[in-house]
């Protein structure tokens, strides 16, 4: 394994001059120098490669990776068993214009691991999976309105790109869209309600025109619903004959094999997946009840897609689910994430710093400026976002790569010594940022 020897350091801290040069050059060919706007910002890096729980950037820096590709990397980068499967598949072909045994087996494994899954259908991204789930719900009910919740992100497509943090504060709405170029008519049937408020859902569903309610079971991958909330949603949607969709694109296969629905013991009608399902290969999936899923595949709801379920990504999904199904990856994640959550929490408390660490071992967030856990969109305003950004950058120059906003994902390759290294860097970074 490569060591820190090649790391470029200035005053004991990493420098990212090579990244800056490469991004400036790359910006001539790619707007902003990145292919996702969610990867822009102060901490943006240009990489050379990943290995296990480590990243190596173009400056030769070695970083412990808690960004994990924004969620997909659950087994670590390039785990040998998956590399072998994928190498074999590359020799057999990427996209064959038909189905493969791996595709069927990946879907079957999903039905084994996920409580709501009686069938699954593959797409290429989480955004596509959400669009398909919503289409199935509208096809099943003959209604149009979809209820989503304030602050919940369900992908980049126009209809769901609403109710999200607005640059100027507050949330986006039909009258205050999330991005220039968004079709105002696309959000006409999307209604945004506050989360954890069952009465608001009851009142809206009583009007009789709602096709689906969509929620992340574990909001942002670290915020638990109020006790009984998901069960309440289940009961209300069932009573009004509305499809309940859990967006498990972050929580799926990350918080455990059965995702948020297993964690909270509530089974939706449909669930959407992406990210950890294929350890980084671009995939999306909808899983759910046979009665609903059967509306596609020759039924009235159409779901085409050139790359859907291609041979390469479904081999990755089959391989990832097979490895995850053995359980030891989750033991490593629980151990690493558990140590980090309690270690970060202790360091904050010992130094009397207002802050908290919230989430589950595979996915958690560090907040500064408030001791209270975040449980609503309003609570997010109590967090000192500027201090968190400074902390994330102070960690990055110490070789620890977290997501802006203070989010950490762990994976099966986060060994004890990397966790030790992270705890030391956190202590040092805290002292620099908060004093």
Q: Can 158 be counted among the known catalytic residues?
A: no
- Contact segment (CB under 6 A) with ligand PLP among 14-22, 183-191, 245-253, 352-360 equals 245-253
Residue tagged active-site, from 66, 222, 275, 409? 275
The sheet carrying 47-51 orders its strands as 47-51, 54-57, 62-65, 400-401
As measured in angstroms, the least distance from the Cβ of 37 to ligand PLP is 11
Nearer to ligand PLP, 156 or 197 (CB): 156
Residue 357 pairs in a beta bridge with 366
d(CA 297, CA 107): 14
Nearer to ligand PLP, 145 or 250 (CB): 250
Q: Is 126 in the site for ligand PLP (CB under 6 A)?
A: yes
- Contact segment (CB under 6 A) with ligand PLP among 147-155, 325-333, 346-354, 409-417 equals 147-155
Write the DSSP string, 117-153: -SEEEEESSHHHHHHHHHHHHHHHHS--EEEEETT--
Residue tagged active-site, from 66, 153, 229, 273? 153
Strands 210-215 and 400-401, by their bridges, are unpaired
| Cα separations in angstroms, 15 against 9, 11, 22, 58 | 6, 9, 14, 11
d(CA 135, CA 59): 45
Q: Is the dihedral of CA 268, 281, 253, 53 positive or negative?
A: negative
d(CA 376, CA 195): 7
Instruction: Please give the residues from 84 up to 113 whose contact with ligand PLP meets the rule CB under 6 A.
Output: none
**Structure token digits, residue 196:** 């954890």
If you compute the radius of gyration of the chain from its CA atoms, what whole number of angstroms results?
22
d(CA 253, CA 379): 27
Nearer to ligand PLP, 59 or 262 (CB): 262
Binding mask 54-73 for ligand PLP (x = CB under 6 A): ----------------x---
Q: Is 250 in the site for ligand PLP (CB under 6 A)?
A: yes
Nearer to ligand PLP, 59 or 191 (CB): 191
Residues that bind ligand PLP (rule: CB under 6 A) add up to a total of: 14
Nearer to ligand PLP, 220 or 398 (CB): 220
Q: Can 57 be counted among the known catalytic residues?
A: no
**Structure token digits, residue 91:** 């020799």
d(CA 434, CA 421): 20
Binding mask 21-40 for ligand PLP (x = CB under 6 A): --------------------
Q: Can 153 be counted among the known catalytic residues?
A: yes
Asked whether the beta carbons of 305 and 87 are under 8 A apart, the reply is no
d(CA 47, CA 64): 13
As measured in angstroms, the least distance from the Cβ of 17 to ligand PLP is 30
3-state secondary structure of 86: helix
CB-based contacts of 75: which residues, under 8 Å, 6+ apart?
Answer: 82, 279, 320, 323, 324, 329, 411, 412, 413
Q: Is 154 in the site for ligand PLP (CB under 6 A)?
A: yes
Nearer to ligand PLP, 273 or 426 (CB): 273
Contacting residue, 249, 315, 357, 404, with ligand PLP by CB under 6 A: 249
Contacting residue, 100, 127, 314, 356, with ligand PLP by CB under 6 A: 127
H or E stretch covering 62:
strand 62-65
Nearer to ligand PLP, 155 or 232 (CB): 155
As measured in angstroms, the least distance from the Cβ of 127 to ligand PLP is 3
Residue tagged active-site, from 65, 102, 158, 247? 247
Closest CB to ligand PLP: residue number: 126
Contacting residue, 59, 150, 158, 216, with ligand PLP by CB under 6 A: 216
Nearer to ligand PLP, 117 or 418 (CB): 117
- Residue 414: which of 315, 343, 304, 337 has the closest Cα? 337
- Count the Cβ atoms, other than its own, within 10 Å of residue 12: 8
- Contact segment (CB under 6 A) with ligand PLP among 45-53, 122-130, 180-188, 231-239 equals 122-130
Q: Is 155 in the site for ligand PLP (CB under 6 A)?
A: yes
What residues line the site for ligand PLP (CB under 6 A)?
Answer: 70, 125-127, 130, 153-156, 216, 247, 249-250, 274
- Where in the sequence numbering do the catalytic residues fall? 153, 247, 275
């Amino acid at each position: 394994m490569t060591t820190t020897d090649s790391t470029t350091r200035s005053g004991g801290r990493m420098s990212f001059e090579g990244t800056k040069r490469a991004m400036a050059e790359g910006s001539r060919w790619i707007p902003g120098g990145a292919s996702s706007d969610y990867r822009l910002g102060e901490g943006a890096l240009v990489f050379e490669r990943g290995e296990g729980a480590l990243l190596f950037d173009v400056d030769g820096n070695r970083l412990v990776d808690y960004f994990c590709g924004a969620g997909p990397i659950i087994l670590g980068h390039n785990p040998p068993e998956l590399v072998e499967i994928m190498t074999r598949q590359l020799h057999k072909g990427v996209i064959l214009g038909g189905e493969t045994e791996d595709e069927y087996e990946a879907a079957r494994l999903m039905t084994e691991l996920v409580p709501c899954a009686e069938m699954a259908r593959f797409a290429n991204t989480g955004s596509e999976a959400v669009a398909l789930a919503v289409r199935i719900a509208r096809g099943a009910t003959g209604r149009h309105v979809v209820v989503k919740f304030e602050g919940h992100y369900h992908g980049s497509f126009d209809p769901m790109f609403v109710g999200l943090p607005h640059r100027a504060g507050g949330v986006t709405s039909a009258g205050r869209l999330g991005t220039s170029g968004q079709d105002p008519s696309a959000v006409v049937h999307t209604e945004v309600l506050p989360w954890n408020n069952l009465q608001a859902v009851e009142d809206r569903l009583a009007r009789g025109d709602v096709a689906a309610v969509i929620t992340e079971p574990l909001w942002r991958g670290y915020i638990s619903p109020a006790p009984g909330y998901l069960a309440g949603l289940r009961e209300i949607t069932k009573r009004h004959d509305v499809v309940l969709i859990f967006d498990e694109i972050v929580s799926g296969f990350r918080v455990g094999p059965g995702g948020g629905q297993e964690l909270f013991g509530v089974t939706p009608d449909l669930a959407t997946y992406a990210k950890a399902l294929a350890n980084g290969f671009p995939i999306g999936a909808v899983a759910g009840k046979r009665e609903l899923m059967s509306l596609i595949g020759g039924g009235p709801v159409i779901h085409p897609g050139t790359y859907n379920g291609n041979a390469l990504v479904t081999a990755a999904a089959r391989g990832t689910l097979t490895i995850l199904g053995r359980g030891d990856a989750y033991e490593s994640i629980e151990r690493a994430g558990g140590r980090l959550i309690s270690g970060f929490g202790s360091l904050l408390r010992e130094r009397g710093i207002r802050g908290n660490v919230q989430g589950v071992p595979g996915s958690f967030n560090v907040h500064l400026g408030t001791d209270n856990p975040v449980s609503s969109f309003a609570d997010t305003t109590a967090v000192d976002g500027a201090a968190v950004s400074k902390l994330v950058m102070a960690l990055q120059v110490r070789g620890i790569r977290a997501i802006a906003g203070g989010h950490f994902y762990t994976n099966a390759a986060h060994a004890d010594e990397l966790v030790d290294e992270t705890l030391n860097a956190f202590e040092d970074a805290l002292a620099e940022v908060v004093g």
